[in-house]
Amino acid sequence: MSLITADALKAALADADSAGRFVILDVRWTLQKPNGLDDYAAGHIPGAQYADLDTQLSGTSDDPTLGRHPLPDATDLQEAVRGWGITPDSTVVVYDDNSSLGAARGWWVLRWAGLDDVRVLDGGLNAWKAAGGELSAEIPQPKRSDITITTGAMPTVDADQAAATAALGTLLDARPSARFRGEDDSLDPRAGHIPGALNRPAADNYRDGALLPKHELAAQFAELGADSGGVVAYCGSGVTACSNILALEQVGVHAALYSPSWSGWAADESRPTAKG
């Protein structure tokens, strides 16, 4: 199970027997405003902690071919997970206020770290408020855990494997269509997309901030030929591609992530590009 509704979360937090099992992470992030700490501080789901996508759910590297959001170092990620008080028995809920694009990255990274029970709040903060959920400005102080994580629990591919997947027509690019076509890309060294990739903008997975119903997702991914195994997702830097992976999970397709994504591919001059 990778989603939870606002009503289900409210009920779980109101139940004394289950509330202590929940760890809630606020992953507010956008390209325009990557740090959402001030929004979190102004009001968040009670008990939620802020998770910084750029510094905690991503790593750093001097190698541009690893992309703008490299996967986090395992030791650093374990430190963050322990600081959030996550244990092997925790149910972790991630949310944001931007169609779960940041939350999906949090979901994927924590699943990659071997955590089994990680869920995205469907509809995010807006769904919580619409369900009558209150907001809090109180910063929780969780008890630090001693959990040991093991990364690699979610599949990834390298650039050669991404290229091979593109040749089969099951490499999905989650960027907006203009960036995919190469008409608008000021973020990365070159514009365009990986030859053979298909465009599935992450925003197309949502309606009013919530994931589309399973039957609609299934039909749309089937049209792209992404209705069975062997699917790989990428985007600009490995963030919004996680939204496509989350959506594919709803229809029983387990996709891999090409984490460097376009930012890593475009930084390697030996890699071909396509436009249009």
Tell me how many degrees the CA angle 276-223-162 measures, rounded to the nearest 5. Answer: 60
Rounded Cα gap, residues 29 and 37, in angstroms: 9
Supply 166's token pair. 């593109």
Angle value at C-alpha 39, between 121 and 135, nearest 5 degrees: 60
Ramachandran quadrant class, 230 (left: phi over 0; alpha: psi -120 to 50; beta: rest): left
- Cα–Cα–Cα angle for 129, 203, 164, nearest 5°? 140
Classified as helix, coil or strand, 204 is helix
Cβ within 8 Å of residue 10, ≥6 positions away? 128, 131, 132, 133
For residues 229 and 209, what is the distance between their CA atoms, to the nearest angstrom? Answer: 27
Residue 242 among the catalytic residues: no
Burial annotation 195-226 (CB, 10 A radius, 16+ → b, else e): ebbbbbbbebbbeebbbbeeeebbebbeeeeb
Quick one: the chain helix, strand, coil %, rounded to 5? Answer: 35, 15, 50
Quote the DSSP letter at residue 149.
-
Catalytic choice (3, 118, 235, 245): 235
Alpha carbon distances (Å) from 234 to 14, 67, 188, 262: 38, 11, 14, 7
The set of catalytic residues is: 235
